[in-house]
Amino acid sequence: EEQLKWIKALLPNKEDGKGDRPSCPYATSINGAPLADPQYALRAGVRGPLLLQDWQLVEKHTQFNRERIPERIVHAKGSGAFGTFTVTQDLSKFTKAKFLNEVGKKTEVFIRFSTVAGELGAADAERDVRGVAMKFYTEEGNWDLVGNNTPVFFIRDPSLFPDFIHTQKRDPRTNMRSNEAAWKFWSEHPESLHQVTILMSDRGIPTGYRFMNAYGSHTYSFINKDDERFYVKFHFKTQQGHKHYTNAEAAKVVGGDRESSQRDLYEAIELGDFPRWKCYVQVMTEDEAGACPFDPFDLTKVWPHSMYPLHELGFLELNRNPDNYFAEVEQAAFAPKNTVPGLGHSPDPMLQMRIFSYMDAQNYRLGINHNQLPVNRARCPIFCPQYRSGHMSLGEIKDANFNPDAKVNSMLEPPLKLEGDAFRPVPKNPDDYTQPGNLFRLFDQDQRNRLFNNIADAMEGVSKEVMEKQIEHFSRCDPAYGAGVRDAIQRRSK
Ligand code: HEM
């Protein structure tokens, strides 16, 4: 508590009622001494040069030169807000997580929304997947659920992630995004069809972060007090309704406002119009997972709701804007490794890679002590990591006097049965076409026409060879899908 207060005192606050800035009778340098003069440098006479001994001036420029840190390698542009998660249904038969064990229980959360491919200054209203990273400050430690606004992903094997992201980012020679690179990758990896269909559908450009669902996407696990494991998928359904822009509407919005999603979220919260999402889980027993006709750990697949219905769990409400964007949003670090007793991972290889990858990225982006920053710090009553020192330590972590024999078994998971030889398996009959085909068949004709046109727009400048390969994949999902895309492309070339 004392340490938190001390850290908070370093941040600007709103308590003086003067907006985001602390009240300042005069400016000081970083050592706390008053500035000799905030506007005029120390010079040798009226027309003379600067003097190096003007340490206040030198300090000001050295601080300024270090105001930027590396942006996130993906999901660089984002918006964040604090809020609460409230339990509405008792699912303790599936999980022993304490923060979920009682109807009405509230847990503080911090959520960061983002686009994926654009850089820090990218416009919000772009056709892209949206990230939704959640940090639950639970009484047993922080639980991070780092998901997207889509229930599936483009790939199922983590070896491909950097290659895939390279096709979404700027070409190293032209320094421009490349439609050819994106579609070449997708046409060579039909497991992307499901996610590509969602991305090119109406849901590809939400009007703001409040108007979309969020998903954990991967299969995670719940562990109950009897040490039974259940596989789960998390769904967060927007209570604001779904709202999207067409390509033409988005182009107009971007022309007038590059921060449309940031503005929408920030202003709604400032006005007290707090957005909410209802949270549900799909549950699969370990036996069901073993007998499942499809791979339940394949991130390119959804679990049919008819087989695995949604169980309500609670709701999420965002009700407080951060006081300092850089300190709390830019320096936020979400990591899929962060779990608490009763919540675990699964054998999904994409998730397994992410357990490592985020911690590594954040140690580079923010430094080894980023978990001491207020937004990232665990708020559980017992907090005794056995780490010390390193860059930018706030001295928060002390060598705790702990008893190594005092074993707390709540974090132990039941043994996970493994089978087979270690090798690099190529999935047998992964069926990349049925689920995207089913999704396509759910769309009415107007939705299909917009899908065809969005794909034709996104294929601008793509080579005939790549286009043909991709149309063949669409046709395998549904002949009407391939034909509609071909027709939309041909109409453009006339
Ligand atoms: C951010 C890696 C797949 C959602 C990031 C970051 C890395 C990364 C390195 C930047 C982290 C930081 O600097 O703080 C990977 C790898 C993946 C993968 C290696 C697959 C092997 C996914 C998937 C999802 C996802 C499947 C969603 C289901 C996000 C989100 C962020 C993010 C929401 C932004 C977090 C924030 O707001 O700070 N990813 N990612 N990623 N990723 Fe992934």
- pLDDT tens, residue by residue, 165-217: 999 999 999 999 999 999 999 999 999 999 999 999 999 999 999 999 999 99
Q: What is the pLDDT of residue 16?
A: 46
Q: Does the active-site annotation cover 449?
A: no
Q: Separation of 358 CA from ligand 1 center, angstroms?
A: 7
DSSP state of 319: E
Q: Which residue has the tokens 């601008």?
A: 460
Instruction: Out of 13, 101, 148, 311, pick the active-site residue.
Output: 148
CA separation for the pair 457, 481 (Å, rounded): 16
Assign 83 to helix, strand or coil: strand
Q: Which helix (H) or strand (E) holds 166?
A: helix 161-168
Q: What is the pLDDT of residue 408?
A: 78
Whether ligand 1 lies within 6 angstroms of the CB of 78 is answered as yes
Q: Which atom of ligand 1 is closest in space to residue 332's alpha carbon?
A: 38
* Among 146, 169, 235, 355, residue to substitute to test ligand 1 (most atoms within 8 Å of Cβ): 146
Compute the residue count for the chain.
494
- What residue type is 161 in one-letter code? F
| ipTM higher than the 0.95 cut | yes
Q: Which helix (H) or strand (E) holds 145?
A: strand 141-148
Alpha helix positions (H), 366-461: 434-442, 445-458
Does residue 41 have a pLDDT over 60? yes
Q: Are 202 and 450 in contact (CB under 8 A)?
A: yes
Q: Which helix (H) or strand (E) holds 235?
A: strand 229-238
Q: Are 233 and 151 in contact (CB under 8 A)?
A: yes
Give nearest CA residue, ligand 1 atom 39: 74
Q: Are 167 and 142 in contact (CB under 8 A)?
A: no
- pLDDT tens, residue by residue, 105-134: 999 999 999 999 999 999 999 999 999 999
Q: Does the active-site annotation cover 218?
A: no
Whether ligand 1 lies within 6 angstroms of the CB of 77 is answered as no
Residue with the larger pLDDT of the pair 239 and 492: 239
CA separation for the pair 438, 432 (Å, rounded): 11
Q: Which of 154, 146, 76 is nearest to 118 (CA)?
A: 76
Assign 43 to helix, strand or coil: strand
Q: Tokens in use for 399? A: 């060598």
Q: What is the pLDDT of residue 17?
A: 45
Whether ligand 1 lies within 6 angstroms of the CB of 366 is answered as no
CA separation for the pair 105, 87 (Å, rounded): 5
Q: What is the pLDDT of residue 383?
A: 87
